[in-house]
Every structure is written in C-alpha cells, then in structure tokens.
Amino acid sequence: MLEHSCIKININFSFMHKKIRIIDIAKMAGVSKGTVDRVMHNRGNVSDSARIAIEKVLEKVNYKPNIHVSAISLKSRYKIIVTTPEVSPGAYWESIHNGIRHALEEYENVRVELQVFTYNQYDVYSCRETYEKIAAFEMDALIIGPTFNEETVNLCKKMDEREIPYIFVDSAIEDTSPLAFFSADHYVCGYMMAKLITSIIPDHANIAIFQAVRTGDRSANSTILRKKGFTDYLEKNRCTNLILSIPFSVTAPEDNEMYLSRLFRSQRDIPAIVVLNSRGYFIANYLATNHIKGVKMVCMDLTTANIKALKKGQIDYLIGQEPEYQGFYAMKTLLEYLIFKKTVTKKNYVQLDILTRENIDFYKNFNNIMY
Amino acid sequence: MLEHSCIKININFSFMHKKIRIIDIAKMAGVSKGTVDRVMHNRGNVSDSARIAIEKVLEKVNYKPNIHVSAISLKSRYKIIVTTPEVSPGAYWESIHNGIRHALEEYENVRVELQVFTYNQYDVYSCRETYEKIAAFEMDALIIGPTFNEETVNLCKKMDEREIPYIFVDSAIEDTSPLAFFSADHYVCGYMMAKLITSIIPDHANIAIFQAVRTGDRSANSTILRKKGFTDYLEKNRCTNLILSIPFSVTAPEDNEMYLSRLFRSQRDIPAIVVLNSRGYFIANYLATNHIKGVKMVCMDLTTANIKALKKGQIDYLIGQEPEYQGFYAMKTLLEYLIFKKTVTKKNYVQLDILTRENIDFYKNFNNIMY
DNA sequence: CTGTTAGCGCTTTCAT
DNA sequence: ATGAAAGCGCTAACAG
C-alpha cells in the first residue's frame, strides 16, 4: 500500500517524455509544419494522402498544443456578447463578470471585443427589451445569465437559427441547445439548505422562506428549482416544520417592512429563515434593526453584505455557488471552442460551498481558480 | 445602485489599453530590448544612466510580462526536491503531489528536474533518515510536507545556511524561515469541527477523538493544532460533552480492534466521533462491520475512502483542505520566484471546505483550480 | 556596457 | 496543394 521511500522523477528531462511539437509530427508524417497546421485546424487545401498520413500520426502520438504559444501568434478577432441581470458592487452578478474578465486576462493575446448588455432581473419587460436589442447584433458567441424562461427560450431560438453558439451561466434554461452551461444544481442547493436549517433548529420550529417579487409576475428559474429541492427534502425526511412563504420586494423596499412585521407579529415562536436568493442580508438587517434575536438563518451567495451578516453571526450558513468560476469557465470554454475548436463538456455543475463564520475568512473568491 | 442597462467594453481593442511590450519600453527609454531585459532580470552589465532611464519608464507604465511567452524562451534548468510522507493512492498526500505535477504541466516549457523523497509519517526515525539524505543533495529549491517539528527545524537550518529556498505544504513549522507556506489553519479547522459535531448531537453526548499513534512518540504538527482548536471551541461555548481521546494505530491495525471495542463497551450511549487525521473511513468501517448505527461523525480530508463513507451516510461532515491547491501553488510560487524573481506572499491559508453527502458530488478536486 | 540576432512553438502569409 | 519564411513577445548568446 505504501510506496518506497525515495522516488526520483525527471520532468522534461527524461528521454521518453520529450514534449512533442508540431514539427515532430510533420517529420513523422513526411510533410511540412504548414500542412500539419492545416489539417489540425480544418483549413482545407490538403490532399487526402497528406491528411491521412497526418491523422495517422496524430492518433499515435499524444500531441497537446501549447495554447499560450498559439495565442500569441493568433490573428483572428472575436466578438462576444454577454447578457446578465444588472450588476451591483459586491453582489452576485459582479462576481460572474469578474470571472469573465479574468478569463480574458488569461487569454490576453487573443483579440476579443466584448459587449455587455444587462437587464433588470425583477422586470420581465426589461429583459425582453434587452434580448431584442441583442438579437439585432452581429457576434461570434453569446454568454447568457438568464432569469426568465420564456424570454430566454426565444432569444436562444434566434441564435440557433443564426448558428451562433451560446453558453449559460448561473442557470440553464430548458428547451434550448447551448454549447454548455455553468451553474449550480439549484435543486440540490435547496435540498441542502433544508438539511442545514433543520439540523440547527428544533423539530417543531417554523421556517420562513423569502422569495423576490417580480414585475410581470414570473419567478426566476433558479429560485423555482431551489424551492422544489427545499420542500422535497422536508417531505422526504418527514419534517414537521411549518413553511411560511414570504414575498419581498427589491424594487419597492418600503413594502418589506410590512411583510416582515406581519410575519413576526403572527408567530408565537420566532421562525427560522431561509432566503433562496442572494438578499439574505436584507432580512438579517431587519432583524438586527428590530432587535429580533436568536433567529437561525441559511442564505445564498457570498455577496459582501451577506458575508458581513455571516461574520456578525446573523446568518448561520451561507451557500456559495462559485460565480467567478462560472464566469471564468464560460468565457474560457467559449474562447477555446472558438479558437481551438476544443470539444466542450456541456453540463458543468459548480460546487456548492458551505460557509460559516469560521471558514469564511479563508474563502477565496477568485484565487482558488487556476488553469 | 444599479447600473445602466447596456455597457460596451472593448478588450484588447481599445486605443488606450494597447498592451505594452518590452520593445515599447525599450523605445521609450531610448535603449534596446536587450538592455531592458538586463535590468528587469538584474543581470548586471548596465550603465547607471540606462538603468535609471528604464526604471523611470517602468514606473510610469504598467508592464506585465507575458509569463507564458517568457517560459518558452527560457533556457535555465532548475532542480527541485519534494519531500512528504509516503503517498498512497486516493489518499491525502497523493492530492498534494497531483497539484505539484499540475503546476509543472502548466509550466511545461520550463526545464525542471524533480526529485521526490518520501518518509514514513508514523515513524520519526524514517523522517530523520530521509531528511539527512536530502541535506546531502544539490538543489535550487525544496518543498516540504512536514510531520515532525524538531526534524524539520533541523533540515531547514541546513537549507538556510546554504541559502536554498523552501516552501511548506500542509503545515508550517515554527522557528523556520520558509519562502512561503500553503496550509490550512489547523487550529480553526479543529475549532470548526467542534462546532459542526456539537451542532448535530445532543448536549450531553460524549465525543471520541481519534489520534494516530506514532513511532518515536511524537504527534504530527497539524494534529496538535487541530486538537487545541477543538477543545478551545468546547471550552469557549461551555459545552458539557465529555471528550474521550482514543489512540489508533496505522502501522499495527490489529491493535485498533481492541481500542475500538474497549471504547464502545465502556460507553452507555454511543459517542459521537471526530477524527483529526484523514483516517476517518477506518472508524466508519469498524462501525459498519460491527453494526453500530447512529454514530455522528466529523472527519478530515477528501480521500477516496472518506468520500465513500460520506456518501454512505457514515460520515456526516467531511472537512477538505484543498491539498491539490496547496501543491499546485507551492510549486507555481516556487517556479515564479526562481524564474521571474516574483515576490511571494509568505502566509497562505487555504480554504476549509465543508462537505456533506449533498454537495460532495460537485466538489472538484482539481478542476476548480484556474490560473 | 550594449545593440543585434537567433531561437522557443505556433499561426499565417506567400510563393511555388 | 504545399513548403518556406515571417512574425508573435520574450530570453540569451554573441559581437562589438
């Protein structure tokens, strides 16, 4: 089981491992570098005989082009559009955009023109309008951070017709054919939130779930899935907690006072609280302002405000869904697809990180991202 | 608070951002590329006037060399030694070695000769012997995965004399002067384990802590720290749980049956279990074999065996400490220090990931590592 | 001391 | 259709 106590490994030194280059396969196939490049990039203008010879060599050897060297000699330009809900500082969507930007920095030699369109995620009409604008543009690819199902399906249909590849971040929408998506499994997310909250409250405690009110009366895709997971967990585990669904408004915050005071007045025992979107800090602040103590909270997303509430002990568990990772890999995958025709993995579920006030200080928003 | 709904950003396209190259600063300083390279790498042979001119330019412009392009034109070779406890498949130290290997892959163009020395982490004499062997070698740098304090201090002293830089992974040792370390905060780790286990057991339940027996009778550095954090949490929170310290042997597994059966026979109620090293699966398997059910467990490290036990529901919480990340960054930092004289951050605490059977499937051992 | 030049591995253009 | 050659940004060896 245990290995010997001294292993010597030579890297890039050993005779067997000698890194294989494009000129090597050219020689092996009896052609020139140019021809090899032509078949590798499907540029055409290659005789069958040459192509077959090269393909045969490629099968034998494990050629891995050095993408960074590729990038510096690349001439082509790409136009990529990104559309997401509006970005506010320290909040969820900013992280996704940061990830996207970091990917562009990694491929600093690649010429990409980026265009960002944001919409109001609490207003389906705003989304519709923005999507229509986007559909009129020329582009090589599209990254979508979706909120509303129907609107997104419409946009994607248009992209499909124009054969423009698109990638989802945050959440994948059914009945579309994206190149890939990078998202949490929202169902499992809700399921896990139920497990966490029930593990720290008495069996009989009520649980209040907060959900955002939206103009046009449609729920966000991810919230729907999370809620399903949440209730499924309780059902499966025969939890007897009473669930109170509480609306709350981001656009008209003055209404929330009413919702909240009504909730707390109606309850004999203080309920536990689960917030299925990233606005947990909002409730935490309400509780603090009104000196309501001892409320257990499980919330979503490592926004600046949520982290603050977590550190203060107002929030007990915070679930992270690696937004930077999502943005980074969405863009990276897109570029490698466009440039190198790299095959892409379609379904990409990100980690669901559990943060407490103990481990939050070590959580790396972006630095944990290598490669 | 919310931004306007359409932002247009051009990357690598805009007139202001034109990526600055080494030839650009050469022109601005009125010298040649070669001279610029000389001052940037402290190669000497540069007149004061030229140096000052270049330095002035460098202050003004934000020059960021393209390290991947650098790497391909690099000629120097580096000899790096890695020493860690023995590696077994699917276990903790394998992950650290994987991370190290991945860093070398990222810098595939850099010529590094790697030499790995492992020792038996349960035997201080093995460690001492291995370290003596290492001290006799020539090398440009050293990566140490330490176990025993005194032995490591001795090795480091020798390295200090020879001015060989070294980096710690897994755990930093006091009274040494490493270039950097990449490690979890083991104290907080133990602290958090205490919080997690107490959150899922009754107030009165006993908690058994397992610690490895070692030849030479020295505890591993990390375990000592974790235990301190663990007991401090209980004390601070006035927990009344009785703590049972149970030894267990990796080298003589036949003894463990005795330790374990003695433990469970002595207890009226089944205690909760915390394992401060990565051998949690071992206890989990004992419980399964002996049909002992309902034991709550919190353990360390995402080894194959532990993950299996987590998925089966035998372990409730598993704490991860990003071993791949540690290895990757240790090697990456070392290379960038050796090659580019990049300044290094000395203290690097990694994330403490909380895994449950819900989120384990999304946990990425290495893929979450970009950059 | 310093400018020039020859690579590194890859893409792309240009003759053939 | 294909080989040769230029060029990407950087380092290192080579003449002066």
CATH of residue A109 = 3.40.50.2300
Is A92's pLDDT higher than 90?
A: yes
Residue B77 and residue B224 share a domain = no
Neighbours of A285 (CB within 10 A): 14
Question: Residue A28 CB closer than 7 angstroms to strand C?
Answer: no
Distance CA B339, CA B112 (A): 11
Shortest CA distance from A106: residue in chain B = B371
* Percent of chain A residues past pLDDT 70, beyond the cut: 93
Q: Of residues 44 to 63 in chain B, which lie within 7 A of strand C by their beta carbon?
A: 44-47, 49-51
Q: Nearest residue (Cα to C1') for D9?
A: B69
Number of structural domains (chain A) is 2
Question: Inter-chain contact A66–B72, Cβ cutoff 8 Å?
Answer: yes
Neighbours of B163 (CB within 10 A): 6
In-domain check, residue A27: no
* Structure letter (DSSP) for residue A253: T
User: Among A27-31, A83-87, B53-57, B101-105, which is the least confidently predicted range?
Assistant: B101-105
In-domain check, residue B238: yes
Helices A254-266 & A280-289 angle (0-180, nearest 10): 70
Nucleotides, chain C, CB distance < 7 Å: 1-5, 7-14
CA distances from A86 to A64, A82, A122, A136, A306 (A): 39, 12, 10, 20, 18
Q: How much is the pLDDT for B217?
A: 65
Average pLDDT over residues A279-301: 93
Residue B285 and residue B245 share a domain = yes
Residue A160 and residue A305 share a domain = no
In-domain check, residue B106: yes
In-domain check, residue B66: no
In-domain check, residue B25: no
Question: Are residues A310 and A196 in contact, defined by beta-carbon separation less than 8 angstroms?
Answer: no
Residue B280 and residue B162 share a domain = no
Residue B179 and residue B328 share a domain = yes
Q: How many interchain CB pairs under 8 A, A with B? A: 201
Average pLDDT of chain A, as a whole number: 89
In-domain check, residue B346: no
Shortest CA distance from B321: residue in chain A = A362
Question: Are residues B183 and B349 in contact, defined by beta-carbon separation less than 8 angstroms?
Answer: yes
Measure A310 CA to D9 C1' (Å): 46
Question: Inter-chain contact B364–A351, Cβ cutoff 8 Å?
Answer: yes
Neighbours of B268 (CB within 10 A): 6
Nearest nucleotide by C1' from A35 CA?
Answer: D2
Question: Inter-chain contact B191–A358, Cβ cutoff 8 Å?
Answer: yes
In-domain check, residue A139: yes
Give me the average pLDDT of each 10-residue run along chain B (371 residues).
44 54 94 94 91 94 88 88 95 95 87 93 94 96 96 98 97 97 98 96 92 77 93 95 88 82 80 94 92 94 96 97 95 91 92 97 69 46
Residue A309 and residue A289 share a domain = yes
Measure A193 CA to D12 C1' (Å): 58
pLDDT band at A345 (very low <50, low <70, confident <90, very high): very high
Residue A226 and residue A87 share a domain = no
The pTM score is 0.91
Question: Inter-chain contact A10–B113, Cβ cutoff 8 Å?
Answer: yes
Measure A154 CA to D6 C1' (Å): 47
Residue B242 and residue B141 share a domain = no
Residue B328 and residue B276 share a domain = no
Phi then psi for residue A24, to 5 deg, are: -65, -45
Q: Encode B91-116: b = buried (16+ Cβ within 10 Å), e = exposed.
A: bbbbbbbbbbbbbbebbbbbbbbbbb
Question: Inter-chain contact A2–B120, Cβ cutoff 8 Å?
Answer: yes
User: The domain containing residue B108 runs over which residues?
Assistant: 9-14+72-183+323-340
Measure B21 CA to D7 C1' (Å): 15
Return the higher-pLDDT residue of B64 and A354.
A354
Q: How much is the pLDDT for A8?
A: 47
Taking the mean position of all CA atoms in its chain, how far away is CA B59? 35
Distance CA A227, CA A230 (A): 5
Residue B237 and residue B175 share a domain = no
Question: Residue B266 CB closer than 7 angstroms to strand C?
Answer: no
In-domain check, residue B209: yes
Residue A154 and residue A93 share a domain = yes
Using left for φ > 0, alpha for ψ between -120 and 50, and beta otherwise, residue B99 falls in alpha
Q: How much is the pLDDT for A217?
A: 66
* Percent of chain A residues past pLDDT 90, beyond the cut: 70
Residue B309 and residue B280 share a domain = yes
